[in-house]
Structure 1
Amino acid sequence: MSSSSLGVVTVSEQTRDAFRGKTVLLTGASGGLGAQLALQLASCGVKTLVLSGRKQEALEPIAKQCQEVEMNSVTSASTSTTTTTTILCLTCDLSDKESVSKLGQDVLKACDNAVDVLIHCGGVSSRSNFVDTAFEIDETVMQINFLSGVSLCHALVPGMMQNNGRGGRVIWISSVQGLVGIPSRTSYAASKFAVQGYCEALRAEVASSNVTVHCVSPGYIRTNLSKSALTGDGTAHGKMDVTTENGADPQDVAVEILDKVAKGRNDFIVAATPSAKAAIWLRLLCPGLLQTLLVKRFEKSQKKEKED
């Protein structure tokens, strides 16, 4: 991690070298962490940066910012190490299987059947008790957070494995809640636990083909994740949770993620609070105590809801 002349946190030179000249597909690029990852990748001199999100009008401003970042990077860098970046926008609704399948096909077509890096950042959270959650919401959250990524892996990873020895990278943004399941997040926790297991198994299968798999578990980040979270009937939560509002800066988190990937880290946690880190250790060392604490947390939240 380093700072530019303007005081903006940027990725390290090692990270720029790791991503320079690569073709990258980034989902969830319309805002929040995804947008910040896009801007940092643009500064790395990637060959092609494919930005994906639900709405074209939300992607276009990010693409424009990426072009500006890339131009500034080219101007300030030595001409012998610069790469002109092609930036493309491809819309995709991760909740729609056909839309995800089409994204996989379209990105291969646009990138001459070769994608070096898949960053699956798109996702949705949930906010509802188990008894208040329709089964269809469980399915939707699982499709967006897990199955869409599986579909993209099927589309892109075989090409990475046959990439003339160059290999590739899969970077999947999971969550601390994929390590510890907290009350009123059953759908979300299930989808993120699935991501953890899938990445662990996939990593072993593709390692000999020089493909690396990185599962990133962020804590709270200042994004709109809680506002767009699905409630039990499918409506948006529509509120900025205090924990999210006080979360880490998405720019700092984006830089930390890319820097750690460039250093070869596979499974790692970012932006986690001390309590989240403690919960992860308790799950391993003292699961009974963690269970007691989670029950108390749930009972406290239910009492507060009744009082409100």
Structure 2
Amino acid sequence: MPTALILVSVLLQALADGFLSGRLGFGGSLRFSCIAFVTATVACGALHAVRSRRTARRPAPRGRGTLRLMVLMNLATAVTFLGFYVSLAWVPAALASSVQSGVGPLAVICTGLVRGEGRPRAGRAAAALGLLVLSGAIALRLDGRAGLLDGAALGGTALVALSGVSAALLARLSRQLGQAGAEPAWVMTHRFHLTYVCAGALLLLGAGGTASAGPALPLMALTALGAVALPLLLLQIGLQRAEPLSAMVLLSTLPGLVYLSQSLFGGTLDAVTCALIALLIAVAVLAARPERPAAPPADVRTPQPASLTSAPPG
């Protein structure tokens, strides 16, 4: 069930991004993000209030541990989304999306090692590295400028890589909130506050430049509801129930699916790029399978206590 929710969320995001591709510049993307996060906050807050009244659910836990996790969620969400959009000023969009999604699985493995959670199986580590390599290859096919990195582009690539690490932390934090009993709609209501405040501040400081704001405000709000709020709510439900590494390898397919969805709205397809995307999706699906706990050795038997009436060995 969590895997299905994440896959549906990825497909919805890919269709939405494919539709918006070419319709928003950097400034328009920043404006749309601000509107989208406010819309997601309001919509999920209303959903949580309605569900709480109808089902008489107990209030979401608000202990120190949960509040600390929500503060970290706000920080990680802001770094993930704003780091990505700000990086677009220095690196091609194809490279930014590929690096962010490709770094995620390796970041989950590395943070697990730092936390002392043990090493994953060699196959999963190899798959995570393979996904990063395939993501880079796809970026080069989509935009040849990705291979021409000057000083500013290297800085932008480092920033988007940081946003990928932050996305991996989001998967871990979501899992911890799920284990703490926090309802996904409640989490969605409170995780974007820092993001839309920072996005609004960037717009006020002129980060959006003079680019067109894109479609009219009501249309952007409706698009945000279907293209951001709904997919992210489904993703949040899935992240709170799924293993972080499995979730991140599924999310690594998003840039490739966006490229494929663009063809539905008038884009062209390249055979080599499609083959690379198909290979990436195959690796991701295989790597997304959760690890099975190792079975105990068959010859190990639990010793039985000796009977009080049994005779000692002769």
TM-score under structure 2 normalisation?
0.30
* Larger of the two Rg values belongs to structure: 2
Tell me which of the two structures has the higher relative contact order, counting C-alpha pairs closer than 8 angstroms and 6 or more residues apart.
Answer: 2
Higher-helix-fraction structure? 2
